[in-house]
Chain A
């Protein structure tokens, strides 16, 4: 079972947090900090699996992570999940995000946190992998978005405008986010 999915940036700022097992609020924050601490000090040329981290579940608990440009995607899983399988699931998730947001970047995740959650809900449900087929996921998300459009009508247009905005180098973009390499790079198939 997947216990938690954490996305944070290179500075440890959480971008998306999803726990599938209950932890108290302060415990959650502690887990995020510990996980960031563990993951951030690892080079890019070491393996993507981590054991230890005493907070979630001791020995029956692994961190499987990928690092894309400014973001870390970390899945906390127990021993019933396949390591390499989860690693590719992260890839599927990120590719889906890339498809839904058209060239996804950290800002998308910040400003559309809710949408990212909806996409994630179609991939993982209650800690179980629900769907691994990218097309299937985007179809489901699209169905929901169409509903949004029909309901939101005109007011949805500015939202699209905002998403166009973020791709332009605007002065409003917070300075301490690294703009240079902000796009999540979705590497092609064998990313080792």
Chain B
């Protein structure tokens, strides 16, 4: 019986397909699809398939455009078109019909139409506009399925410009009684948020409503939005942390209906999402947000003990969260144990995740890697390449000077067997980074050789570039440089003698450059021999024309002696008729220069290093001509920025000020209105200036700017530069010693690791891999933490490499307080309170100083409060007790009806003492003066042209009202500059050590014989520079910012101007100093 049925069924489709009745149209086309599929699977070649599909497409095209085709048939045709598109054949003719189907069909046909549209089109496709009306109509439909379809297609893609048209309807759906509709609406809104965040800004409170929806599904959907928004701006959502914790607590506690369980784990995906959100919220957190998470994290860890895949997923997220938020020791311990379980797991997916977690945490906790060293070693030999790669990634993070050779060797081993381009490129970059970080002569060259030959032409182009730069700039000692170069020459010559045609082009380019530049170092090597080797390369047919021009360039440097010249002539003859213009040019150069040894030694001087005239002084003539012809003077980017910031700052000022002044005017009636003071206008320029600073350290363009057009803009400069002023916190809380302690509490105590005793070999490997990873390894790890490690710091040996903890902390602090109000809030916490025993101000007076941008270190050294016996009374009524010391003029800063604040600074040897006097102005005529004098010592952390100290004095009047006055004071950098007394020899030594330099031409003061001396004297007087020596037309000058922040200046009279070259180990110092030099000379 069943046989009969089966046979009937078998025959059915074919029977029906013959049937041409309209009722069976659908089925007949079903089998048409079937036929197509069968047809395709029976084919053997790609070519045949293409032919068949083209036929099919042609027939579909014919049918869709025929007016007799019913919607029902159209639906079938669409499915066939989808199939063809999936196989990679374009069916663009059907797009418009897909839209038509979605528009006109019944619900079922609509569904196919929408599906086809969402598969065929993309957000920017022009036809999509035709869909908008359909979507609008369907969103208003009473049929739930149609609404669902519309929402689905909207969340897949929707034209950005048309969002406003449907937004109200989608919003409305958030209140729909059906949860599935609400849920889809939330996701559609999420999509809108992704493509046009501004459009949905006004409905953020609706997102909150969705988060509180009674249906957990809708709440889950809303988490997508929150995850995204929190990732973009974590600080804006800290208040939600408690809600997320509460949700997670309920989920973990099993409060959700059983439906949400997956393998008896309650809503695991929801848990994962929540944990991710929590870790985003708790990242870089100052404890408070993190603290509320501890309990639920602990709970999650405890509950997720069942042995199933999905519980591991939760555990993994837990662990990551624990290591991301503000640390708590017992949780860390549990998390570490968890990571251990992952790493040791026989399940390979878990091992992978364990390694990933280790990589993630190893910066905070290197001892964890130590604990699992044997497992890591085993993973290095794992058959799965992905595991292996992940292990290398981990090792990359724990590399230090001691284990670098072993780790790099492992990486190179992997590179040799890797076939995947992406992995190769990635890993080659990492090896190069490590090699450059810890270079040691032969090893470095050998490693880079392998990198070049394995990485081939796929690697990032900056790798060979930086290698060459490193080689040419050299390291600390000349001797070592020579050895390094010699070794490179040696190894390259032997490589060329082997089989050079197998080497990648990039490597050949490197080789030819090095040989051209340094082969003279090897005395027994004849240039002609090198030339012949290079000429052989030229003849190889694989050599690209780019490489050929490198080779010709190298030959030009080398063609020395008779034998050399003859080789060069031969080569240049061959290539001087080359079709490639670059090659032809090089060949002609070679020919000409090989015949003129004198000219050649001028054009290509030996061992000159890469000298770039960053001031572009050779363009001066051109520039002055252009200026004369009416061109606008060049403005460097940061000046343009400043102008912009200024323009913005203008509007802010009155608002910032009006409030405190008007408040204070009520207490005493008969006073003239306080003079207007300007506060913290510098703050508005804050963030832009910061970014600009970062820019100026990398791109040393600053020096270029002031060569021309001085008269043009320096007059306007004064107000502009003021905006750059930045100041920070006189924080007694953050003294270096204390932060050091705080840091120590996190650092690990070395724990004796029980090592099992497997094979000797692995042990050995382990000890070589994990050497130097004990508690004090943090130095190398610190180095790693910067996202783009600077490659060529070697020569600099700048003091910044030994940054102390406090500096790092304050830097990070600043980056987090980029907005003005945050800054103020933070800073105002640090208030030093002074009691003023003045009769009128019987209550408390507190004064605070704030500085922005972390470039200054303000320490409150003494705050002595003087009573009513001023030692020195000036006519402005301010007392200055600092007699005997040279000090600047006393500047009144601000005043209100009850007090005057004045400030002056005293230049001490190591710091700048800022003395501020608070004077009871309200009563000065009636009673004796009440004067409070505070003294602060200021030192500069990061140079900028001006320093602005921003502060606030708050005090309490006897009546009990609190008053506060804000003030700001600007100091030029010159106040912090001190002469540096060094001998010429010391100067020479220091000069070579510094990397940050700036060149610029300054105008001389007079044209006479002694113009240099006169100019330098002016600078000496105004800027407190120390003139070390003047030799003929050159002079050397030295100064310092701190004990350890010198800046050297080399001046030379040249063509009526003073060519100044500044060098310093501190990035921005030369730029700032040259600005002041310019000012000083101009004012003179």
Contacts and interface: CB of A to CB of B under 8 A. Distances in A.
A174 B122 CA distance: 34
B715 interface: no
A175 B42 CA distance: 7
Contacts of B384: 42, 46-47
A165 B421 contact: no
Nearest to B191: A126
Contacts of A28: 88
Contacts of B107: 147, 151
Given A46-B386, A168-B10, A147 B420 contact: no
Interface stretch (B78-86, B285-293, B396-404): B78-86
B444 interface: no
B145 A144 contact: yes
Contacts of B221: 128, 130
A142 B566 CA distance: 87
B26 A152 contact: yes
A161 B224 contact: no
Given A59-B426, A113-B83, A176-B41, A88 B313 contact: yes
A68 to B, nearest CB: 16
B115 interface: yes
A47 B37 contact: no
Interface string A84-97: 11011100100000
Given A83-B353, A84-B353, A125-B184, A190 B309 contact: yes
Contacts of B88: 25-26, 28-29
A131 B260 CA distance: 10
Contact of B309 (A50, A58, A118, A192): A192
Pick the most buried of B9, B106, B187, B272: most chain A CB atoms within 10 A of its CB: B9
A84 B349 contact: yes
A187 to B, nearest CB: 11
A82 B277 CA distance: 12
B215 to A, nearest CB: 11
A125 B90 contact: no
A90 to B, nearest CB: 11
Contact of B272 (A47, A85, A151): A85
B608 interface: no
A52 B268 contact: no
A158 B13 contact: yes
Interface string A166-178: 0010101011110
A47 B348 contact: yes
A47 B349 contact: yes
Given A174-B38, A174-B41, A84 B183 contact: no
A115 to B, nearest CB: 10
A114 B82 contact: yes
A135 interface: yes
Contact of A80 (B111, B122, B276, B422): B276
If over half of B's interface residues share one DSSP class (helix, strand or loop), that class is named, otherwise mixed; here it is: helix
A80 to B, nearest CB: 7
B316 A133 contact: no
Contacts of A42: 384
Interface string B137-164: 0000000010000001001110000000
A25 B317 CA distance: 36
A111 B33 contact: yes
Given A132-B262, A158-B16, A113 B86 contact: yes
Given A14-B87, A85-B272, A190 B23 contact: no
B191 A159 contact: no
A133 B231 CA distance: 27
Given A147-B107, A147-B108, A177-B41, A87 B349 contact: yes
Contacts of B259: 133, 135-136
B389 interface: yes
A161 B352 contact: no
B96 interface: no
Contacts of A176: 41-42
Contacts of A88: 262, 268, 309-310, 313
A36 B915 CA distance: 73
A182 interface: no
Interface string B369-394: 00000000000000110110100000
A22 B122 contact: yes
Given A88-B313, A189-B263, 17 more contacts: A46-B387, A47-B349, A50-B386, A59-B426, A83-B349, A89-B269, A121-B115, A126-B190, A158-B12, A158-B13, A158-B16, A162-B13, A174-B38, A174-B41, A174-B42, A177-B41, A189-B309
30 contacts: A20-B156, A25-B85, A29-B88, A46-B384, A47-B384, A54-B421, A82-B276, A83-B353, A84-B309, A84-B316, A84-B353, A88-B313, A110-B37, A113-B83, A117-B115, A121-B152, A125-B155, A126-B191, A128-B187, A128-B221, A132-B262, A155-B26, A158-B13, A158-B27, A162-B13, A164-B6, A165-B10, A189-B309, A190-B309, A192-B347
Q: Which 3 A-B pairs have the closest CB atoms?
A: A84-B313, A126-B155, A174-B41
